[in-house]
Amino acid sequence: MMKTGVGISNGSDSHAVGEEAAQQALKDFGVQRANLIIVFASVEYDQEEVIRGVRSVAGDAPLVGSSTAGEITTLGPAERHSVVVMAISSDTVKFYTGVGENIKDDALAAGRQVADRVKELAGEPLSLFMMLPDVLVGNGADIVRGVLQSLGKHFPVVGGASGDDFKFEKTYQYLNDTVYSGAVIGIGFTGDVKFGIGVNHGWNPIGTPLKVTKSEGSVVHEIDGKPAIRVYEDHFGKDNIEELRTTTLAKLAITYPLGMHVEGSDELLIRDPISVDEHGSITCAAEIPEGSEIRLMVGDTESAINVARAAAANAIEGLEGAEPKAVIIFNCIARSKLFGDRRGEEIDAIQEKVGSTTPLIGFYTYGEQAPLSGEVRNLEKCNPAFHNETVVILVLGE
């Protein structure tokens, strides 16, 4: 039997906040010791003290987590900086955890390292892999690629990239008693694992198709033979683009990302623009290969809410009749900014499908990891990828 509880706290004392959130989570499902503790926390708190507070209640149960750009629970998006905790206990599913370090030096190796470590600890075939990477210091797509080198090209992978309250400075990852930065945390699931995954974004293309004519990894130098920033200059006007050169492009163009055509996806794969240099090259949150066909995209609130509902329905369908017991959401910070005061409506739409009382935890991310949107109904052939501006919903059931 799987039991799950969720807790949230938003006081001022970092240790006490972690302690209270963990107490709520454990009390919520009436089991003294969990098999897995998940922690998502604002960077406004002392990260080490938060984990000490959680551990003071949860003991030595395996603990994983991440700093965030906003927290989510069964009650909806947190209204202020908070710490949220999910406690899971199961006699049919086992959880194995690991870490891959030094993403800045070699993102591919870090992804491979964390997956290899989890596999080694499990000693039996994994059914599902969840990851929590730092993508401020390295290419998120390379981290995913490294994980798949270890687990296999079509292995089901979900996750979300750590945040720091929209500062884009430094993020943190948690494993047991240790707080990392520049790392990726992995969680492997074995046993009788019943799960469903939903993936959608709802951003719509505008203008005509464009071709990336020069790029290196996550840096797009030229589009249609012109400096990449011309995509935004042509749309917004050159005067407005000057501001993009002096501040974070991600904050100003967050509702106008780039969409990349990839085989196997029902939607264009979103790439967030992060910054622009003096030559007009745009650095994105993940790679856009040279030769890719791209479009400028625009976010629409109603469309984004509708696709979140559809993603939740797909996740429930993946359970194949099992009862949902836990929901974990990885939701891009761009979606929170798009919705503004209406961001709770997106979570309401998800809960229409997963159940309003099903324990739910999540956070606003700097990137998401999941199969392409067209493949969630056929996970045997899925191709996990690094997404932006997308909602990824994992539902565990029994």
Give tens-digit pLDDT for 244-279: 565 556 666 667 899 999 887 878 999 988 788 889
Q: pLDDT band at 337, cuts 50/70/90?
A: confident
For the cut 90, the answer to whether the pLDDT of residue 31 exceeds it is no
Is the residue at 219 inside a domain?
A: yes
Distances in whole angstroms, Cα of residue 358 to Cα of each of 316, 325, 326? 12, 6, 6
Q: What is the pLDDT of residue 251?
A: 65
**What percent of the chain is predicted at pLDDT more than 70?**
94
What pLDDT digit, counting tens, does each position of 106-133 carry?
Answer: 999 999 999 999 999 999 999 999 999 9
Q: Does 136 share its domain with 258?
A: no
Q: What is the pLDDT of residue 252?
A: 60
Is the residue at 317 inside a domain?
A: yes
The residues, ordered by sequence, that sit 6+ positions from 52 with a Cβ below 8 Å of its Cβ are 15, 18, 177
Is the residue at 206 inside a domain?
A: no
Q: Does 58 share its domain with 110?
A: yes
Mean predicted confidence (pLDDT) in 187-203:
95
Q: Which of 270, 298, 326 is the last residue of a domain?
A: 298
Q: What is the pLDDT of residue 33?
A: 83
DSSP letters, 266-310, are SSPEEE-EEEE-TTS-EEESS---TT-EEEEEE--HHHHHHHHHH
Range of the domain at 219: 211-298
Q: Does 260 share its domain with 172?
A: no
Among 51-55, 111-115, 241-245, 331-335, which is the least confidently predicted range? 241-245
DSSP 8-class letter at 340: G
- DSSP strand pairing (194-200 vs 391-397): antiparallel
The residues, ordered by sequence, that sit 6+ positions from 120 with a Cβ below 8 Å of its Cβ are none
What is the rounded CA–CA span in Å between residue 335 and residue 198?
A: 16
Q: Please state the φ and ψ torsions of residue 202, each to the nearest 5 degrees.
A: 85, 5
For the cut 90, the answer to whether the pLDDT of residue 210 exceeds it is yes
Mean predicted confidence (pLDDT) in 282-304:
90
Q: Retrieve residue 95's tokens.
A: 């959880």
Whether 95 contacts 107, CB under 8 Å: no
Among 243-252, 300-309, 386-395, which is the least confidently predicted range? 243-252
Q: Does 331 share its domain with 292?
A: no
- Mean pLDDT, rounded, of the chain: 92
For the cut 60, the answer to whether the pLDDT of residue 45 exceeds it is yes
Q: Which of 271, 298, 325 is the last residue of a domain?
A: 298
Q: Does 235 share its domain with 279?
A: yes
Is the residue at 220 inside a domain?
A: yes
Q: What is the pLDDT of residue 241?
A: 58
- pTM (2 d.p.): 0.94
Q: What is the pLDDT of residue 247?
A: 57
Is the residue at 205 inside a domain?
A: no
Is the residue at 284 inside a domain?
A: yes
What is the rounded CA–CA span in Å between residue 17 and residue 96?
A: 26
DSSP letters, 355-384, are -TTS-EEEEEES-EEEE-GGGTT-GGG--E
Q: Which of 298, 315, 339 is the last residue of a domain?
A: 298
Q: Does 28 share its domain with 64?
A: yes
Q: Does 237 share its domain with 337?
A: no
Q: Which of 348, 390, 366 is nearest to 69 (CA)?
A: 366
Q: What is the pLDDT of residue 240?
A: 59
Q: Which of 277, 395, 267, 327 is nearest to 86 (CA)?
A: 327
For the cut 60, the answer to whether the pLDDT of residue 47 exceeds it is yes
Signed CA dihedral, 307, 313, 319, 322: sign only: positive
Is the residue at 145 inside a domain?
A: yes
Q: What is the pLDDT of residue 263?
A: 82
Number of structural domains (the chain) is 2
Q: b or e along 45-80 (b: 16 or more beta carbons within 10 Å of the residue's beta carbon)?
A: bbbbbbbbbbbebbeebbbbbbbbbbbbbbebbbee
Mean predicted confidence (pLDDT) in 142-154:
96
Is the residue at 272 inside a domain?
A: yes
Q: What is the pLDDT of residue 338?
A: 85
For the cut 60, the answer to whether the pLDDT of residue 12 exceeds it is yes
Q: Does 54 share its domain with 25?
A: yes
What pLDDT digit, counting tens, does each position of 88-110 carry?
Answer: 999 999 999 999 999 999 999 99
Q: What is the pLDDT of residue 80?
A: 86
Q: pLDDT band at 381, cuts 50/70/90?
A: confident
Q: Does 222 share its domain with 321?
A: no
Q: What is the pLDDT of residue 272?
A: 85
Q: Does 148 share its domain with 216?
A: no
Q: Does 187 share its domain with 93?
A: yes
Q: Does 362 share its domain with 265?
A: no
For the cut 70, the answer to whether the pLDDT of residue 50 exceeds it is yes
For the cut 70, the answer to whether the pLDDT of residue 205 exceeds it is yes
Q: pLDDT band at 207, cuts 50/70/90?
A: confident
What is the rounded CA–CA span in Å between residue 316 and residue 323?
A: 9
Q: pLDDT band at 142, cuts 50/70/90?
A: very high
Whether 343 contacts 134, CB under 8 Å: no
For the cut 60, the answer to whether the pLDDT of residue 79 exceeds it is yes
- DSSP strand pairing (36-41 vs 63-67): parallel
Q: What is the pLDDT of residue 374?
A: 62
What is the rounded CA–CA span in Å between residue 201 and residue 108?
A: 26
For the cut 70, the answer to whether the pLDDT of residue 376 exceeds it is no
143's enclosing H/E stretch is: helix 140-151
